[in-house]
Amino acid sequence: MNYGSLFISDINGLDLLSASLPFVPKKWLTFYTIKQEHVGKPWVIAQVVYNDYRLWWALMKANNLRIGMITRDSFRVTNNPYTDNIITDFSLGREIGIPSMDDINNYIATINNANSTGK
């Protein structure tokens, strides 16, 4: 996987993860407890839930989680030199809420509106 594509803004260049407005969903679709294979990989959950890995930011922002930091050689958590290390709050056993697409779309519209009006 090309990790660089995970950190690109949306198609219009809107940086949703760094937006200063909080993302507080009105309705959670469900709750999910992070399993070992999903630790540090919110894009995998986004792909399963929304069929779009690019919505990983919504899981992070809605649950007030820190952005993962991907490293290869500068810091190694495992001894496997071929494994990327993900450092994040997206950790084993943590329960997260899965926001609805309506809430995600409303948040995007709010950010778009704030950007267009300069607020």
* Residue 18 pLDDT > 90: no
> Which residues does 108 contact at the CB level (< 8 Å), separation at least 6?
10, 14, 16
d(CA 10, CA 109): 12
Element (H, E) at 30: strand 28-33
Contact 111, 21 (CB under 8 A): yes
pLDDT digits (tens, 9 = 90+) for 63-100: 988 765 554 444 444 555 555 555 578 888 999 999 99
5 or 43, which is more confident?
Answer: 43
The pTM assigned to this predicted structure is 0.74
Which residue do the tokens 């494994």 mark? Answer: 83
For tokens 């709010």, what's the residue? Answer: 110
pLDDT tens track for 39-55: 888 889 999 999 988 89
